[in-house]
A and B are shown apart, each in its own frame.
Chain A
Amino acid sequence: MSKRTVQFKIYRYDPDKDAQPYMQDISVELEASDKKLLDAIVRLKTKDDSLSFRRSCREGVCGSDAMNINGKNGLACLTDIDKLAQPITLRPLPGLPVIRDLIVDMTQFFKQYHSIKPYLVNNDPAPERERLQTPEDREELNGLYECILCACCSTSCPSFWWNPDKFVGPAGLLAAYRFLADTRDQATNERLDNLEDPYRLFRCHTIMNCVDVCPKSLNPTRAIGKIKDMMVRRAV
């Protein structure tokens, strides 16, 4: 493919210089090898090196380059540049404080993630090699463990926008169910107690924005439903 020019509209904000955030119109000429949005942004940075964004693995594993692309959250490294309508509007993930340009402060997001104890709780003495599971039990974790914590889901969730300090959010709840579903975990009751709260779990109104945007095609809504199922089975 020959060289082509791509138009961008990018959210810019440098708290040291700008009183207000603004949208910058900028275009960049791409090389034939530039396939993904991240390639284009990296090329853009050679033109304007003040543009700030996070990126690392550039292949959808690290989750660093999550941003709002033409109004929808996604990973720049997994988004085909040629499938995007121009001008490509880039904004930081919604609902989190902006540090600079496309970089957001993820403290609140990770605080919620840590609040669900995202690690195996097992008080039995550790076996010599590993805690084994049957293939069927292991199967339960598929669609849960793959989350890369990019925050696309939680920052597309209005319930998380309104109550980021109280609602765990889809990413945290998916991780919570990942440990609730793990047969090696022994803290099921404590985990359910921790989530039985009108804010922590029940702010989810099942609008499924999380499912719509997940770049790993995971389904936090289904996981949230399964947490509720576990609570019902425990209570009724």
Chain B
Amino acid sequence: MVNRHVVGAHYGLRDWIAQRATALFMAIYTVVFGICALTLPELSYEAWSGLFSNGLMKFATFLFFLSLFFHAWIGIRDIWMDYVKPTGLRLVLHLITIFLLVGYAGWAAQILWRL
């Protein structure tokens, strides 16, 4: 095998923008969610599930989770890229991260649309 470091993957910008865009969305959602939660008439299960049964809230919350998982994907991948040297191990860790995050996204959808 040629002992040469190959670089130039021609990606990175999209992820860098996505990381910032998802952070912005999560920040906005957190403020909106905070206001909605604090203005609930009472802190009961009915009021809480009523908040999330609203279609717009479902949509925004699901988008929040997708943002969180995509943001986490880029962040966790950065950790693997920074600290894990063997390529095979890094690939395995990338795949485990993707599987987990996709699973979590499905789980989040299931929880939200159950309400």
**A116, chain B: closest CB distance, angstroms:** 12
Chain B CB within 10 Å — which of A193, A199, A202 has the most? Answer: A202
User: What residues on B are CB-neighbors of A197 within 8 Å?
Assistant: 7-12
Give the residues from 1 to 26 in chain B that come closer than 8 angstroms, CB to CB, to chain A. Answer: 5, 7-17
Q: How many A-B Cβ pairs are below 8 Å?
A: 48
A198 to B8, Cβ gap below 8 A? no
User: What residues on A are CB-neighbors of B17 within 8 Å?
Assistant: 232, 236
A166 to B5, Cβ gap below 8 A? yes
Contact of B13 among A158, A163, A205, A228 (CB under 8 A): A228
**A156, chain B: closest CB distance, angstroms:** 16
Chain B CB within 10 Å — which of A198, A235, A236 has the most? Answer: A198
Q: Is the interface of B mostly helix, strand, loop or mixed?
A: helix
A163 to B11, Cβ gap below 8 A? no
**B74, chain A: closest CB distance, angstroms:** 10
**B22, chain A: closest CB distance, angstroms:** 16
Chain B minimum-CB-distance residue to A234:
B13
B83 to A198, Cβ gap below 8 A? no
Chain B minimum-CB-distance residue to A201:
B12
User: What residues on B are CB-neighbors of A235 within 8 Å?
Assistant: 13-14
Tally A residues with Cβ within 8 Å of B: 22
**A90, chain B: closest CB distance, angstroms:** 28
Cα distance A103–B14 in the bound complex, in angstroms: 40
Chain A minimum-CB-distance residue to B10:
A196
**B24, chain A: closest CB distance, angstroms:** 15
**B100, chain A: closest CB distance, angstroms:** 20
User: What residues on A are CB-neighbors of B9 within 8 Å?
Assistant: 197-199
Q: Is the interface of A mostly helix, strand, loop or mixed?
A: loop
**A162, chain B: closest CB distance, angstroms:** 5
Per-residue contact bits, chain A 216-236, to B (CB 8 Å; 1 contact, 0 not): 000000000000100110011
Q: Is A194 an interface residue (CB 8 A)?
A: yes
Q: Is A200 an interface residue (CB 8 A)?
A: yes
A203-B8 in contact given A198-B15, A228-B13, A228-B16 (Cβ < 8 Å): no
Q: Is B82 an interface residue (CB 8 A)?
A: yes
Cα distance A166–B84 in the bound complex, in angstroms: 13
Chain A minimum-CB-distance residue to B9:
A197
Contact of B81 among A203, A231, A236 (CB under 8 A): A203
Give the residues from 163 to 206 in chain A that come closer than 8 angstroms, CB to CB, to chain B. Answer: 163, 165-166, 193-194, 196-203, 205
User: What residues on B are CB-neighbors of A162 within 8 Å?
Assistant: 82-83
A205 to B78, Cβ gap below 8 A? yes
A166-B7 in contact given A198-B81, A203-B82 (Cβ < 8 Å): yes
Chain A CB within 10 Å — which of B7, B10, B17 has the most? Answer: B7
User: What residues on B are CB-neighbors of A196 within 8 Å?
Assistant: 10-13
A198-B5 in contact given A162-B82, A232-B17 (Cβ < 8 Å): no
Interface residues of A (CB under 8 A from B): 158-159, 162-163, 165-166, 193-194, 196-203, 205, 228, 231-232, 235-236
5 nearest A-B residue pairs (beta carbon): A202-B12, A198-B12, A231-B13, A165-B5, A162-B82
